[in-house]
Structure 1
Amino acid sequence: MKKILFIYFAIISLVLPQSQNESGYAFLKNGFTARNIAMGEFGAVGINDLSALHYNPSYLALNNKTQLAFSHHSLFNDYSSENFGFSFNLFNLPFAIGINTTKIDGIELRTKPGELIAKFNANYFYASLSSAYQIKNFYFGATIKYLYENIYIDDSNGYAFDFGFNYEKFYDNFSLGVVIKNIGNVNELKNIKTKLPLDFQIGINYNYKYDDFEFNPIIGYQNYLTDKISHLHFGTEIKYSQTVSLRLGYVSNYDSKNITTGLGVVFKKFNIDYAYVPIKYGLGDNHILTLIYNF
């Protein structure tokens, strides 16, 4: 998204905390795959693929698949993000590797109104390693992430951990998922301390099958503990014959968005998923496309 900035410190203020309680590294709040984004942008529960590495690593033990994924996000006008994932088994344990690259293009630098001095990009990156373990109907998982950001001539890096838990079919076909994300620390950027967006989520998923149809409604609660902002998430997926899926969701307490939609198709060894999130105020709607290859 192009922003006319009069001094460089104004650029820093876009991505660093505005007060003691606000967090930076906001790209960590973005979703990973189109399926979860279409279902209310929630993933603490009800995950069925390697996107667990981003949302709740405990689901790697439940799904336990070898998959390769690529996801492209078009977020706002000049804001884009790519996610890569690979899940596999080693030493009788499930593992997953994740990579995210996020970029804001064409930020304009000015020292005063008038002539443009330069344009530059803001770049963000993380690489993650996740694993999980199962004890009966209980699943536990953890992720470690290396974080990096570069804005103009300054950069910052650090690490973070995610810890997830899920309890499958604790009552009938209900499942419970809990995750806390982004526990860690990063270096200062331009002598300004950055807090990570500490993220707590808890949700319930119900799985119901009728003939060739499968229904997966989700209700979730999310609290960004650093920012003291909470959201409610509602999502559902209607799947026919394990090949075609329609998805719809709603997320509360955002100024610019609330409805999420999407669809998915299974073709041979490929999962092809698309999500669309309308954005208010002319910022540019979100489009997410995900391809997953099943080995």
Structure 2
Amino acid sequence: MKKFSIITFLLLITATASNAQNDGAASTGLAFLKLGAGARSLAMGEAYSSVTNDATAFIYNPARLIIGDKGNVSLMHNFSAQDVSMDYISAKFPAGKKLAFGIGLFTTSVNDIEVRTTPGAAIEKFDARNLSTGLSLGYLVSTNLSIGITAKLIYEKIYIDDASGFGFDFGTNYSKDNYSLSFVVANIGSVSALKNVSTKLPSLVRFGGSYKFNASKSLSILAAADGFQVLSGGGFHLHSGAEAAYKDFLFLRLGYQSGYENRGITTGVGFRYQAWSVDYAFIPYTDDFGTGNAISLGINF
């Protein structure tokens, strides 16, 4: 039986800012559009707009689709808190030295939510689902500077009501030597009314930087930080993360997210062998929200 706390968490996912009271919650919905995807990024506290170099650029920064000369497929399943399930699949396709395309699908869902009109037995059950899918484009403007855009369709359904709309993300990235800087404006668009109530997209700004250095012949360290601000108001959040890579095979990760009531430290591990990578992220929540466990698979081609 689903507990009332699932309804609470569902509302956090679909109608308010995720795990933060002061994050534009009063004036925006579709908070799943602020969530990250990919176990590597989640383990690093989502400090990822200047780090992503695979198909997760669809979520974090389309300008970084151009990083690397290989195609990539990324898949993720997140066993999140309170029976909320998150799934992500995306792919990127280089098209020459200056252009790359990406496609992506991100969903969140809660199943078997009980409906009661009075105390007592449930009269029925329903599912709640959110979906975002679209196309990304990254373009290399100069040796160090790239830009990108994502166009996405958005859909949500709660009980018998649904809504749909569209949104755009715009990103830039500057990379030189071992550091990168990024700036992203995301979720610019509109969505139809859900049960006669208009919903604003959680438009946001994300900016960040990262630096990678070799600690020894076998060990490299990547440090990253992202600033995160919802444009409709609310608190500023700092996402920070680090990754230690041993022989480009074993990866240990740690992250921290500030300014949230129920989020803080994240951690994870990853393995890479030739074209394959497997990653895991552990995301603990406070206030009895439980824990999230994300698993990702990446394939280069």
* TM-score exceeds 0.5: yes
1:154 alignment partner in structure 2? 161
2:231 alignment partner in structure 1? 225
| Structure 2 residue 238 is matched with structure 1 residue 239 | no
2:144 alignment partner in structure 1? 137
Deviations 1:93-119 (A, max 9, x none): 210110112111222211122221111
Q: Distance in 1 between matches of 2:133 and 2:2?
A: 27
Q: Distance in 2 between matches of 1:227 and 1:3?
A: 31
Q: Contact 1:45/1:177 (CA < 8 Å) preserved in 2? A: yes
Deviations 1:244-283 (A, max 9, x none): 1100011101111200101110123211011001111222
CA shift in 2, pair 1:14/1:128, >3 Å: closer
* Alpha-carbon RMSD: 2.2
Q: Contact 2:14/2:32 (CA < 8 Å) preserved in 1? A: no
2:20 alignment partner in structure 1? none
Q: Distance in 2 between matches of 1:20 and 1:218?
A: 27
Q: Distance in 1 between matches of 2:209 and 2:74?
A: 25
Deviations 1:226-252 (A, max 9, x none): 242321111100101111110001110
User: After the TM superposition, which residues 151-230 of structure 1 pair with which residues of structure 2 at under 5 Å, given as runs?
Assistant: 151-169=158-176, 173-209=178-214, 210-230=216-236
1:77 alignment partner in structure 2? 82
Unaligned runs of 5+ in 2: 18-23
Q: 2:70 aligns with which of 61, 65, 73?
A: 65
| Structure 2 residue 270 is matched with structure 1 residue 264 | yes
Q: Distance in 1 between matches of 2:25 and 2:52?
A: 34
Q: Distance in 1 between matches of 2:126 and 2:213?
A: 50
Q: 2:59 aligns with which of 51, 54, 72?
A: 54
Q: Distance in 1 between matches of 2:156 and 2:13?
A: 13
Aligned length: 289
Unaligned runs of 5+ in 1: none
* 1:91 CA displacement: 6.6
Q: Distance in 2 between matches of 1:12 and 1:258?
A: 20
1:276 alignment partner in structure 2? 282
Give the residue type in structure 1 aligned to 2:294: I
Q: Contact 2:131/2:155 (CA < 8 Å) preserved in 1? A: yes
Give the residue type in structure 2 aligned to 1:161: F
TM-score by length of 2: 0.90
Q: Distance in 2 between matches of 1:102 and 1:62?
A: 28
Q: Distance in 2 between matches of 1:35 and 1:142?
A: 22
Q: Contact 1:161/1:182 (CA < 8 Å) preserved in 2? A: yes
Deviations 1:194-219 (A, max 9, x none): 01111211111111123121111012
Q: Contact 2:115/2:123 (CA < 8 Å) preserved in 1? A: yes
Q: Distance in 1 between matches of 2:58 and 2:16?
A: 26
Look up the SS of the partner of 1:36 in the other structure.
helix
Identity %: 38
CA shift in 2, pair 1:188/1:26, >3 Å: same
Q: Distance in 2 between matches of 1:44 and 1:218?
A: 9
TM-score by length of 1: 0.91
